Amino acid sequence: GAVVSQHPSRVICKSGTSVKIECRSLDFQATTMFWYRQFPKQSLMLMATSNEGSKATYEQGVEKDKFLINHASLTLSTLTVTSAHPEDSSFYICSARTASGGDNEQFFGPGTRLTVL
């Protein structure tokens, strides 16, 4: 159980375009989803926390108007990178916590590798 999927797994786009990444919890309801970004040889950096039905909470330094997060249902959260630039190229990973969430475990999706040309 506790499977999280992401789509697409890899995307290449031109500078200035927008890219949407989907994160789904397949076999559980996720009241909270998290979005992380990882640059090569760096650790995972939390970008934002997304709660179903409410606005996302962004970490300091993350532009909320550039990284749009929507968590419209208990199984789906989306991250849209607007007007992407080469410096946005990174590995984007979502994670989800079960509705009970008592143990604070987070289950990760397989990640989306974004390359902006």
Binding site for other proteins (CB under 8 A): 34, 42-44, 46, 49, 91, 93, 95, 101-111, 113
Tokens 């989800």 correspond to: 96
Question: Given the complex with other proteins, which of 28 and 108 has the nearer CB atom?
Answer: 108
Beta-bridge partner residues of 108: 95
Nearer to other proteins, 8 or 14 (CB): 8
Smallest distance, other proteins to C-beta of residue 54, A = 14
Contacts with 76 (C-beta within 8 Å, 6 or more apart), sequence order: 22, 23, 24, 25
Q: Which class for 61: exposed (0-12), middle (13-18), buried (19 or more C-beta within 10 A)?
A: exposed
Q: How far is the CB of 104 from other proteins (least distance, A)?
A: 4
Q: How far is the CB of 47 from other proteins (least distance, A)?
A: 10
